[in-house]
Amino acid sequence: MHMCCQKICSKFVVFFLFGFAGCTMPSRISMEGEGGRTSYNNAIQMTNSQQMLLNLVRLRYADSPLFLDVSSITTQSTVRSELAPVFSIPGFSKDNPFKLGGDISWQDQPTITYTPLEGQAFATRLLRPIDLRTLQLLCYSGWDIDRVFWMMVQNFQEIWNDPDSEDASQPAHQRFSEVSHLLRHFQKRGELQLGVQINPKTEKDQDLHEHSLQIAFPVDGVEGSRLAELIKCDQLVNGRYLKNVELGFSNGGHMGVMPRSIFSCMAYLSRGVQVPQEHIDRGMVRISESNHHEEEEWGEVFRGLIAVRWNRFAPKNAFIAVQYRNYWFYIDDCDMHSKKTFALLLQLYNLNANEANIRGPILTLPLG
């Protein structure tokens, strides 16, 4: 019986040794574990979001933003395995015990390179007005056109989207809001068409063009008539309203569509950063020169666009949070409007800030 147990245990030891030597767990850990690709992916995504939120808060305090780019990540994984006597195997006598065990260790050594994004080229990309083709691309890729317009458009048909602008007849943001909501109404019904018309001035210089944003929507219905009235559209083509809104100023001196830059988008959204009363009282944050009623109205606007809250302590239910000036600033994980706007800002930044020239298909409307 004793010899039988020894033979069985000998086979078990051989099997254990081969199994231990051929274990694939370290390779799975290096790819999927705490030091794996997914973990680095999640970490970079989180830190990119934290960096953007931190820069929004900085702009709210009139501080300068700064971007660091993760230019490279290299990692080296080391696995060490060792057999050692650690536990008893049943079946051996007390006078001649046999113990078998194992030890395995894994070490990950990452090297991450950060590059500050600065200099004239990067500043130019941040301050350059957003291309109309980018606006069109975002609208056709599933983003709500009202959210895109609120964030990316400074002026549309002489309707200013500016917290400090004033209109004697009607607050400017109310008219801009009505236009963007009507556009969204037709977009949801699949009845809105957006085109970009580009006419090169010369064949040799392709960087100089006259841009215009083309908008087509149905004639029938109260919504179509109201939108045509707001944007001063009287051209009918194939039973649809068609409006060509020129980029910047037209030849007659009228304002068309004026896109923001990435930097101005960030400055605009920074108005949605709520700040402690202590900082307001100390004059650390700029307060709008408009009256209190208009300030409340803009508070409502940004609550539907983005709301960055503050707390003295680390928030528990935060989608993203950063610490700044001894306070925590965060976006609530249940605030879908803010999360969508923040995601749109990140996508816009990735589309424009990292490439000097954005080139894509030019989609014009086949009307007229």
Tens of pLDDT along 52-107?
999 999 999 999 998 888 877 777 666 666 655 555 555 555 555 555 556 666 56
Q: What is the per-residue burial (b if ≥16 Cβ within 10 Å, else e) of 131-154?
A: bbbbbbbbbeeebbbbbbbbbbbb
pLDDT value at residue 8: 47
- Say if residue 299's pLDDT is above 70: no
For residues 47 and 254, the model is more confident at 47
pLDDT value at residue 210: 61
Interatomic CA distance for residues 62 and 73, integer angstroms = 33
pLDDT value at residue 247: 86
* Residue 247: count of CB within 10 angstroms of its CB: 20
Single-letter residue type at 174: Q
Tens of pLDDT, residue by residue over 234-275, are 888 888 999 988 888 766 667 889 999 999 999 999 999 999
pLDDT value at residue 166: 52
Q: Where are the domains of the chain?
A: 2-32+67-117, 120-352
Any alpha helices (H) in 189-271, and if so which ranges? 222-230, 262-269
Single-letter residue type at 186: F
- Strongest mean pLDDT among 1-10, 29-38, 237-246, 335-344: 335-344
Q: What region does 195 belong to: left with phi over 0, alpha with psi -120 to 50, or beta? A: beta
Mean pLDDT of 159-168: 64
Interatomic CA distance for residues 79 and 105, integer angstroms = 6
Mean pLDDT of 193-212: 66
Q: Indicate the average pLDDT of the chain.
A: 78
Two tokens, residue 195: 């085109």
pLDDT value at residue 152: 94
pLDDT value at residue 122: 82
Mean pLDDT of 140-153: 93
- Say if residue 39's pLDDT is above 60: yes
- Say if residue 136's pLDDT is above 60: yes
For residues 131 and 366, the model is more confident at 131
- Say if residue 173's pLDDT is above 80: no
pLDDT value at residue 298: 56
**214: confidence class by pLDDT, cuts 50, 70, 90:** very high
What is the three-state SS of 119-171?
CHHHHHHHHCECCHHHHHHHHHCCCCHHHHHHHHEEEECCEECCCCCCCCCCC
pLDDT value at residue 162: 73
Interatomic CA distance for residues 343 and 49, integer angstroms = 9
- The answer to whether the CB of 49 falls within 8 A of the CB of 346 is yes
